[in-house]
Amino acid sequence: MVSKLDKYTPLIKTALDKAKENDVYAIIRLQDYKNFNVDILDGRTEYKSAAPIKGMGISVFTKDGAAGFASTDRLDEESVKKSVDEAVIDMAKNSTKYEGIKRNTEIFEVESLNGEYLQSTKYDLSSKNSNEIEEIVRSLNKEAKTLDDRLMVKSSYSCVDETWRIARSDGTDVTYNMPISRLLTYLILNEEGKIVQTYFKVHGIDLGVILDEESKHVYSKKAKHISSLVSDLINAGAMKGGNYKVLLSHDFVGLNAHEAVGHAFEADWMKSSIFGLDGKLRKGEKVAPDNISFIDGPLEGFFGNQFISSNGVKRKTVEFIKNGVVADALSDVFSAKEVGVGINGCARAQTYANIPICRMSVTLMVDNNPYPFEKTSLEDVTLDEIYELLVKHDELKMGEKIVYPVVGMGGQVNPAEGKFMFNCAGIYLIENPKKITLYKQAVFIGDILGAIATRSKGIGKICPGDTGTCGKNGQGAPVSDGGNMLFIIDKTKDITFGGEQ
């Protein structure tokens, strides 16, 4: 197969030769990014665009490990040579005259890698023209609108075809792709001076998200569920803040894996992370119940999957908490030794002009021995049925309160202080199968160590969770998450719901 980046082979050679001439080791990153976006508001096209991006990033390392970087979006010989000179002479070599410069020579020891690691997609972005895609999104938009005419429906569809080629001075020359596709549907109810807005997503890696019958079926079920939720939320009150027993759907289980735990295992943050001690991972420490593991790694077909790191190293599956014990970190070439783990290939860069940093890709929270559950979708089960199931498994006493957040709105973490937060569009307080009250959005904040040490139990098989763009150091990366279909977490002082006092 001929890669679309093959034509840049002479330019890559120019960059590597120029680096050799300057007596430095180089990592060349070539990015070819194409996206297509269309926004439909109540059946009308609001915006349609494509944004092709191409460019080259050049990381260089002097023999004693001083680093420099340069980038250019002009892919011609003169610009590339100039950029290598800037990275080497103006940046890396100039910096060595300063005291306290960080040096890292780990890249010199890494094995070279060659080949193409392409995720196969069912549909190529060019298999439909922009007008055909626009019309399909319009019909999906109209379908949601027909559920409740009071609703304003905005559909934002985005499909990305992104390919990278990484070449290094050691002969590494590897190509990988990162296709993503997502239909985000916002439902807005604006009446009598009150506004409620929430959304649902269907996601994947290609146009199948809007073309395949299975995906359209998921879309229809979510549209019905969320339109009904929006209607209920318009008159919802505020819940009383405090500590509650919590039931999490797989969307929130995944959000928990990503925000509350995963970030604190990113090796480039280990000096300040609560899972680090003097910069080393606190390997072997028991931090969670025996039944709980947290895993991140490449999963073909998942939104945000990346087989190869931005430094040209294969990405490994990382079980960072295994059976409740700290086991590994999301490391890359430059952080692995310092942190005390192997190289797991977790470096990602948003664009050719960014420096790769340690990132998650697809992150899961897993119960190794969950309660069985025959349902395949939470849209097929009611809250009173779930409550009764929990009572049956002695996870709840009849009449015991439990909260169930719906529609994850994202979260944030401070790995240094061990604090995290999530938000939700609404939250159900279930007091018994007949008394279920919906409240409006409530933030939940927590202490990472206390929250993951709390007893928790998974229910059902592993399901994909939420998708999104994770922000770190000013860079965005497409990520997804997931876990068992449901998780129940005991009441703890370390997870607090904000609310009225």
Partner 1 sequence: MKSIKTLSEKLNDYMVRNDDLKISQWLFTFGEGKSISIGMKENEIGGPYMPPSSRNEYGGSVYIRWADGTISNSIINSETLENMDTTIKEWKALSYQNIFAPEVIDPLPIPLDLKIKDNKLVEITEKDKDYLFGILKFYKNKLSKKDYTKLLTIHASVGHEYNTVLNSKGLNVEWEETGISTWVSVNNMAGDSYSKRKIPEKEDLKKIIKEIDRYMIHSKNVVQMKSDKMLIILTPGVLADFLDHYVKNNLQGGLVANNQSIFRIDDFKLKRQVFDENISLIINGLKDYELSTVPCSSEGVPSTKQYIIADGRLITPFLNLKYSKKTGMSPTSPGKVGLEIKTKTSYNKLLHGIDYGLVVYDVMGMHTQNNTTGEYSIAVGQGLLVENGEIKGKIEKASIKGNLFEALKNKNTKFADYREDEIAMLTEADVTV
Q: Which two tokens stand for residue 5?
A: 């980046």
Nearer to partner 1, 215 or 344 (CB): 344
Residue 447 is a binding residue for partner 1 (CB under 8 A): yes
Question: Which residue among 30, 66, 362, 430 contacts partner 1 (CB under 8 A)?
Answer: 66
Report in angstroms the alpha-carbon separations of 247 from 22, 55, 253, 456, 488: 59, 46, 9, 10, 4
CB of 369 to partner 1, least distance (A): 32
From the list 162-170, 172-180, 216-224, 235-243, the region that binds partner 1 by CB under 8 A is 235-243
Binding partner 1 (rule: CB under 8 A), the pick from 13, 50, 77, 385 is: 50
**312 three-state secondary structure:** coil
Provide CB contacts within 8 A for 76, sequence distance 6+.
11
For position 30 contacting partner 1 by CB under 8 A, the verdict is no
Site string for partner 1, 172-211 (x = CB under 8 A): ----------------x-x---xxxxx-------------
* Chain position carrying tokens 């092709």: 52
43 touching partner 1, by CB under 8 A:
no
CB atoms within 10 A of CB 311: 25
Report the site for partner 1 in 114-133 (rule: CB under 8 A). Answer: 129-131
Query: Which residue in the block uniquely carries the two structure tokens 């370390």?
Result: 494
Q: How many CB atoms within 10 Å of residue 50?
A: 12
Q: State whether residue 40 is helix, strand or coil.
A: strand
Instruction: Please select the residue that binds partner 1; options are 4, 20, 63, 103, rule is CB under 8 A.
Output: 103
Q: Does 295 bind partner 1 (CB under 8 A)?
A: no
Kindly state the smallest distance separating residue 7's Cβ from partner 1, in Å: 11
Check binding of 100 to partner 1 (CB under 8 A). Answer: yes
Q: Which residues contact 179 (CB under 8 A, 6 or more apart)?
A: 119, 121, 159, 160, 161, 162, 205, 206
52 is a contact residue toward partner 1 (CB under 8 A): yes
162 and 51 in contact (C-beta within 8 Å)? no
| One character per residue 70-99, x = contact with partner 1 (rule: CB under 8 A) | xxxxxxx--x--xx--xx--xxx-xx--x-
Which residue type does 467 have?
T
Site for partner 1 in 141-170 (CB under 8 A): 152, 154
SS (H, E, C) 58-90: EEEECCCCCEEEEEECCCCHHHHHHHHHHHHHH
Which part of the chain contacts partner 1 (CB under 8 A), choosing from 160-168, 383-391, 439-447, 476-484?
439-447
Residue 476 as a binder of partner 1 (CB under 8 A): the answer is no
Q: Which of residues 399-438 bind partner 1 (CB under 8 A)?
A: 409-417, 419-423, 425
Angle at the Cα of 144 from the Cα atoms of 142 and 148, rounded to 5 degrees: 105
Q: Which is nearer to partner 1, 72 or 454 (CB)?
A: 72
Number of residues that bind partner 1 (CB under 8 A): 95
Residue 355 binding partner 1, by CB under 8 A = yes
At its nearest, how many Å lie between partner 1 and the CB of residue 61?
8
| Of 6, 23, 46, 124, the one binding partner 1 by CB under 8 A | 46
Expressed in angstroms, the distance from the first to the final Cα of the chain is 63
Question: Least distance in Å: CB of 386 to partner 1?
Answer: 25
What is the spatial distance between Cα 237 and Cα 105, in angstroms, rounded to a whole number? Answer: 57
CA 36 to CA 160: how far, in whole Å?
7
Helix (H, G, I), strand (E, B) or coil at 300: coil
Q: Is residue 398 part of the contact set for partner 1 (CB under 8 A)?
A: no
Site for partner 1 contains 48 (CB under 8 A): yes
- Is residue 461 part of the contact set for partner 1 (CB under 8 A)? no
